Amino acid sequence: MINKVTTVNNWLKLAKNKLKEAQISSYSLDSELILCNILKVDRTTILAYPKRKLTKQNIFHANHFLKRRLQHEPLAYILGFKEFYGRNFKVNSSVLVPRPETEEIIEQLKNNLVNNNETLLDIGTGSGILAVTIAKEFQNKNIKAYASDISKDALVLAKDNAILHNANISFIKSNLLENIEQNILNEVTILIANLPYVNKNWIDQEKPNELHYEPQIALYSEKEGLELIEKLLNTTNKIPNLKYLILEADPEQFCKIEKIAQENNLKKMVQKNYTIVFKK
């Protein structure tokens, strides 16, 4: 692909052009991050030494990553990690790529929702970003954290991330609340969930799209994207000491979600971006 280049600058120029042609809007950052990963340096170093020579092996590896990115594979899968709320998390194709909009859930928790000794449950934890970030950010509050997922492979990765960040989390394999013991549900005071909420009709399945690489069960939900959120809301009565429930969904879905929540005695407190907060 790109063989005649010898320097960082040359490779970046060519890579950026190719990604731009493929209509990948993050072409510049992605090219730089690929090279950072291969050379094991940070972005400032890449940009400070544009004339650094690349070895044949560097170029071979960088071209391989570039080729994958040109096919719209998410950069996070290619590099094997993604940053979330200032920490790096391992990711692979058995989990959703962490999204920056999901950081709002942490921001909302920081609005005085978390007191000392709360017990949190993260449903559909995926790579574990929410549970791990919460365990770290509220370390001084003596909180207890549980995280569940229906996918065995996701739980393997989430456990890896908990170890990586030295976060104390108990993991449970469960479909929503179904397989979580009642004595654990009795402890829970704060429930958070970034469940699949994408409506299949929103996505053009023919067009190249990063979503095609992500696990379908982590993205899509029936009933216009609301099936799983509705099921969760309809079982929140199994959590007797629930104080807050925080969900991620598309803002267009909030109206319907609020209605189902109301039927389950949950009151909307705030909504911001893709996050909606309920109080019991």
Point out which residues pair with 89 in neighbouring strands: 82
Nearer to ligand GLN, 79 or 129 (CB): 129
Q: Which residues have a Cβ under 8 Å from the Cβ of 42 and sit 6 or more positions away?
A: 36
Q: Is residue 197 involved in binding ligand GLN (CB under 6 A)? A: yes
Nearer to ligand GLN, 5 or 123 (CB): 123
Q: Which residues have a Cβ under 8 Å from the Cβ of 143 and sit 6 or more positions away?
A: 114, 116, 117, 118, 119, 120, 134, 135
Q: Which of 216, 257, 234 is nearest to 275 (CA)?
A: 257
Nearer to ligand GLN, 219 or 260 (CB): 219
Alpha-carbon distance of 71 to 52, in angstroms, equals 28
What are the backbone angles phi and psi of residue 267, rounded to the nearest 5°?
A: -105, 135
Q: Is residue 194 involved in binding ligand GLN (CB under 6 A)? A: yes
Query: Using an 8 Å Cβ cutoff, are 256 and 233 in contact?
Result: no
Give the nearest distance from C-beta 47 to ligand GLN in angstroms.
30
Q: Which of 196, 226, 230, 246 binds ligand GLN (CB under 6 A)?
A: 196
Give the nearest distance from C-beta 192 to ligand GLN in angstroms.
12
Total chain residues near ligand GLN (CB under 6 A): 8
Q: Which of 91, 177, 192, 198 binds ligand GLN (CB under 6 A)?
A: 198
Chain position whose Cβ is nearest to ligand GLN: 196
Give the nearest distance from C-beta 222 to ligand GLN in angstroms.
13
Q: Is residue 74 involved in binding ligand GLN (CB under 6 A)? A: no
Give the nearest distance from C-beta 194 to ligand GLN in angstroms.
5
Nearer to ligand GLN, 35 or 131 (CB): 131
Give the nearest distance from C-beta 193 to ligand GLN in angstroms.
9
Map residues 99-128 to x or -, x wherever contact with ligand GLN holds by CB under 6 A.
Answer: x-----------------------------
Nearer to ligand GLN, 198 or 245 (CB): 198
Query: Using an 8 Å Cβ cutoff, are 60 and 38 in contact?
Result: no
Length of the chain in terms of residues written: 280
Give the nearest distance from C-beta 180 to ligand GLN in angstroms.
20
Q: Which of 2, 219, 260, 269 binds ligand GLN (CB under 6 A)?
A: 219
Give the nearest distance from C-beta 53 to ligand GLN in angstroms.
39
Pairing label, strands 244-248, 190-193: parallel
Which residues contribute to the site for ligand GLN (CB under 6 A)?
96, 99, 194, 196-198, 219, 248
